[in-house]
Chains A and B, each alone.
Chain A
Amino acid sequence: MREKDKVTGTPVSRIDGILKVTGKADYSTDHPVKNVAYAVLFKSTVAAGTITNIDTTEAEKSPGVLTVITHKNAPKLNVKGGIRGGAMLQSPAIEFYGQHIGMVVAETFEQARHASHLIKVDYDKAAPKVDFEKLAGEAVPSKDHQDEKRGDTKAALSAADVTVEEVYATPIEHHHPLEPHATIAEWNGDHVTLYNSSQIINGAQNAAAATLGIKPENVRIVSPYIGGGFGSKGGQWANLVLCAVAAKMVNRPVKMALTRQQMVNSVGLRQRNYQKVSLAATKDGKLTALSHEITTHCAIHDEFVEPCGDCSRIMYDTPNSLISYRVVPMNLILPTYTRGPGKSTGSFALESAVDELAYKLKMDPIAFRLKNEPARDPSNGKPWSSRATVQCLNEGAKAFGWEKRKLEPRQNQQGNYLIGYGVACGTYPAHQNKSSAIVKLKREGSDVTAIVELAAADLGTGTYTILAQTAADALDLPMNKITVKLGDSDLPPAAGSVGSVGATSYANVVNDACIKITNDLIARSGKQYFTRPTASQLMISEKVSDYQVRVDSKAPDNADDYSSHSFNANFAEVRVNISTGMVHVSRFLAVTGAGKVLNPKTARSQIIGGNIWGIGMALTEESVVDPRWGNFVTRSLADYHVPSNLDIGTMEVIFIREDDTASNKMGIKGIGEVGIVGVAGAVANAVFNATGKRVRDLPITPDKLL
């Protein structure tokens, strides 16, 4: 196929878009399952202790109620089956505020919700560990993240011309996908179908099966459309299996959706981090030490630590480096992956510190970064498969008008507003994970159509579209001849749509399958060809009416010889109201090198989405725990401020053209995560440039700028 005829790389509109703009895309609770009953969860109102009595009599008598399920009558489940966060009604022990302690199943949602308010619970309360400010001092070394040392940062810091040593704090954040986690469970004998939202279809299938004690082939996950996930629908949580339990107990399909208020302590969170970053440099701006020491919290019995030090491992060339993680267990729900896990929050700390250091050196922060650009991955000495940081900074500076930025803060005032520019870099690893796919070809007369099947997820990432594009090119068929089926565990197993592995893993396996089906058809014909025929030509010439292949793909064997990451540079212009302290990001530019861009339209949207998440992290989002009781006081979307439309100004995106075939055959690196990395840093740096005030504790709400 001629390069110019290819549809990959072109801005095709989403093929699932028409369903989404007409309200016909079926999300978890939209599936038309008949005769459903409705379940509503109820939750603990203490953070630690034991349930001594749970009185369900009034609820059971309430009209329409079919059953009330608590630890007293719930079936035994395998709590080590892969469901995250516990709370599966297996014991009276309470480990965090808002732990599920039961559910009411009723004929209607209204009846179930009302009855859930009639439950009376007595607790033997224990003193909860919920005040991170006080507990941070008790943090111990992480089990999952060993300290990583090169050289001697202490010596370098004390010998340095210029140093920065500051602590940067980020708040607890919640994913709050617009679609709350929800499930419809329908049993058929010993086989259960779970309509739910899952970023990892096979992960949900295996975790549900292992927890319920049934075979994976007896669990079907149906998740064709996902109303956002951002990490919270990567691992699955108790609500998935509890819905199956409820359906089993009432012997009919059950629908159960978390309420928005329940989301804050049901499906993980991004933990609060204190990050001490210490930088040392020579007078002329050569970095001599970088240490990044993280203190955070995890659940009482389970550790999850987001890797805030990851950017610091690879972003800058320095002979001395230290990354460490300390963690304190708390009576809060298990933290989990949240968009740009570790890198988004970690880059805020690192890139703020770099900005502070550059300011002390009286150096342009871009010049400082260029001077400390590493030729190889400093953490392991491997060559980069590709690294576009320098181009991102240079092209971005040009496009953004960086030359207009003043080195000194508070130099740009327009009326009642202070204007500032900030820059910050980011990175996220690129991987291809194991995936399988089936490609089916059908022919009627001279009409050849293809079906692509794999248990991949599209949570708004554009997976349907990029796979249709990939298959169209690889089979030389028009896109309208290709049907893409995703989001069903009956399809071949695939990687999750997590950690920016989706596009890489899925597009490669689909491409491999299309190549294989063509090769098979050539071999089957027994003929020799001067020019390689397309699959569609072969179907016609060889009069094949049906043919299919299944392919399993993984990363190239030598992929590990390289260090593969996406890189970006973010530029923010902020306007700060001098009277009120309200900050507006009037202009934002992300320049990204993320391998081959399969669809610039959906890729641009993904980057902007990540950027907006970063702006939320910088300015508006914060989950607050009452340090006395462990409850969230920000338990609704009126209290937890995700950015609104008016919060967002002009968003610009530039991609650096890359074809990173060292990383994988298709040359893709993934864009879902990197879009948020470096954003909060760029905004915070711009706020400093505007106001002269360095805010090291996100979010930058008006009160912090008075």
Chain B
Amino acid sequence: MRPFKYTNANDATSAVNLSAGNANARFLAGGTNLLDLMKEDVERPDELIDITRLPLTQIKPISVGTNQGGLSIGGLGKNTDAANHPLVRQNYPLLTQAILAGASGQIRNMATNGGNLLQRTRCPYFYDVAMPCNKREPVGPSSRNGCGALEGINRMHAIFGWSEKCVAVYPSDMAIALAALDAVVRVSSAGGQERMILFADFHRLPGDTPEKDNNLNHGDLITAIDLPKNNFADHSSYLKVRDRASYAFALLSVAAALELAGNRIVQVRIAMGGVAHKPWRALTAEKMLVGKEATEANFKLAAAAEMAQAKPLEHNKFKVELGNRTMVEALQLALDGNRS
């Protein structure tokens, strides 16, 4: 861990301004990923701006605007509190399940909602500074560029949307549910602007710039995550497949949500984790299912169509079949419903 200056921010404006003044400064919220990476010498900030005391922790119904009737979750609230808030549990059980599928009780008590979106990949080549990695050392004339995983051990890696520069996957569970819920990320920027970023536009595919995980600019502060009102609460499910029963990152996960009229699918959302550099919305599958009967046969057709587009790597070919099965099972669980 490189030496760094520790600064306390008193309010959101000063936090953003402090950060804008130092390109090498980072916000410290839960710290669960940032400190981990600093100890590995992957992250090398020279200043940490502690934002844990900013009053951005509230969870409250949205009373105006496009998402009226939805719920706004403070960017600096803890994952535990988001998962257990009565309104989240009642109206967005998919989010509760996804948060609780991640990490451990201790880590969820520390990790913030905004920070969760900014988790960096768990790719072992990214984590080990002795390994080549385009995400850690951006592609450039002087870099030892190359992706260690592309032709290395890539069992955990992407099957959708990867590039020759990077095959890493994004590790958050919470964000998979947020993708399915079409959440909106509220951001404060230097100079006092507020931006709203649609969730689908928040994270990026690696392309030629794998060092950029998302579309935030330096100094941007996530103040809240807005959840639009929906009719999915009775029929949603987050299913996570991993190498051990708990406290492990996903091999693959599926967030599935159905809005039904009788047994006909009015709306469906499917997002996958552990398959791409960002939460992967299964739009092909969704399109195939809208208006159809919610049957296992239709789920299978939709999953197969989605997974047919996968481009697996040497060690993760299993993810195609696993994606098929997990998507069908997640939809089935969603159909069976959340007893309420």
Say yes or no: B241 contacts A582, CB within 8 Å: yes
Among the listed A114, A619, A703, which residue makes an inter-chain contact with B322, where contact means beta carbons less than 8 Å apart? A703
Say yes or no: A117 contacts B322, CB within 8 Å: no
Q: Which chain B positions have C-beta within 8 A of A706?
A: 318, 321-322, 325
Flag whether B2 is at the interface (Cβ < 8 A). yes
Say yes or no: A584 contacts B39, CB within 8 Å: no
Flag whether A647 is at the interface (Cβ < 8 A). yes
Give the tally of cross-chain contacts (CB within 8 A). 90
Among the listed B39, B40, B124, B326, which residue makes an inter-chain contact with A580, where contact means beta carbons less than 8 Å apart? B326
Flag whether B41 is at the interface (Cβ < 8 A). yes
Q: Tell whether A45 pairs with B130 under 8 Å between CB atoms, given A706-B321, A706-B325.
A: yes
CB distance from A392 to the nearest CB of B (A): 28
Contact with B along A462-483 (1 / 0, CB 8 A): 0000000000000000000000
User: Mind listing 20 A-B residue pairs with CB under 8 Å?
Assistant: A113-B39, A416-B329, A579-B329, A580-B241, A580-B322, A620-B244, A631-B128, A633-B153, A635-B127, A644-B244, A644-B245, A644-B248, A645-B246, A646-B247, A647-B244, A647-B246, A702-B243, A702-B322, A706-B322, A706-B325
Flag whether A17 is at the interface (Cβ < 8 A). no
Among the listed A416, A644, A703, which residue makes an inter-chain contact with B318, where contact means beta carbons less than 8 Å apart? A703
Say yes or no: A114 contacts B247, CB within 8 Å: no
Flag whether B262 is at the interface (Cβ < 8 A). no
Say yes or no: A633 contacts B248, CB within 8 Å: no
Q: Which chain B positions have C-beta within 8 A of A619?
A: 244
Restricting to A597-620, which residues have a CB under 8 Å from any CB of B? 619-620
CB distance from A108 to the nearest CB of B (A): 11
Say yes or no: A584 contacts B245, CB within 8 Å: yes
Say yes or no: B241 contacts A635, CB within 8 Å: no
Restricting to A631-659, which residues have a CB under 8 Å from any CB of B? 631, 633-636, 638-639, 641, 643-647
B130 nearest in chain A by CB position: A45
Q: Which chain A positions have C-beta within 8 A of B40?
A: 261
Flag whether A227 is at the interface (Cβ < 8 A). no
Say yes or no: B131 contacts A638, CB within 8 Å: no
CB distance from A46 to the nearest CB of B (A): 9
Q: How far is the CA of A620 from the CA of B239 in the complex (A)?
A: 19
Restricting to A644-703, which residues have a CB under 8 Å from any CB of B? 644-647, 699, 701-703
A639 nearest in chain B by CB position: B124
Say yes or no: A579 contacts B124, CB within 8 Å: no
Flag whether A138 is at the interface (Cβ < 8 A). no
Q: How far is the CA of A540 from the CA of B241 in the complex (A)?
A: 68
Contact with A along B322-340 (1 / 0, CB 8 A): 1001101100000000000
Q: Please, how many residues of chain B have a CB less than 8 angstroms from a CB on the other chain? A: 38
Flag whether B3 is at the interface (Cβ < 8 A). yes
Say yes or no: A641 contacts B246, CB within 8 Å: no
Q: Which chain A positions have C-beta within 8 A of B131?
A: 629, 631
Restricting to A111-160, which residues have a CB under 8 Å from any CB of B? 113-114, 117
Say yes or no: B246 contacts A644, CB within 8 Å: yes
Restricting to B87-123, which residues have a CB under 8 Å from any CB of A? 122
Flag whether A110 is at the interface (Cβ < 8 A). yes
Q: Which chain A positions have C-beta within 8 A of B301?
A: none
Say yes or no: B41 contacts A636, CB within 8 Å: no
A43 nearest in chain B by CB position: B130
B171 nearest in chain A by CB position: A638
Q: How far is the CA of A702 from the CA of B128 in the complex (A)?
A: 26
Say yes or no: B122 contacts A633, CB within 8 Å: no
Flag whether A49 is at the interface (Cβ < 8 A). no
CB distance from A38 to the nearest CB of B (A): 13
CB distance from B78 to the nearest CB of A (A): 21
B330 nearest in chain A by CB position: A579
CB distance from B101 to the nearest CB of A (A): 12
Q: Which chain B positions have C-beta within 8 A of A629?
A: 131
Say yes or no: A638 contacts B122, CB within 8 Å: yes
Say yes or no: A638 contacts B248, CB within 8 Å: yes
Q: How far is the CA of A582 from the CA of B127 in the complex (A)?
A: 27
Q: A580-B322, A701-B243 are in contact. List 10 more A-B contacts (CB 8 A).
A: A117-B2, A579-B328, A580-B239, A631-B130, A636-B127, A641-B248, A644-B245, A646-B245, A702-B242, A706-B325
Q: How far is the CA of A626 from the CA of B151 in the complex (A)?
A: 10
Q: How far is the CA of A129 from the CA of B165 in the complex (A)?
A: 27
Q: Tell whether A644 pairs with B247 under 8 Å between CB atoms, given A631-B130, A633-B153.
A: yes
CB distance from A107 to the nearest CB of B (A): 14
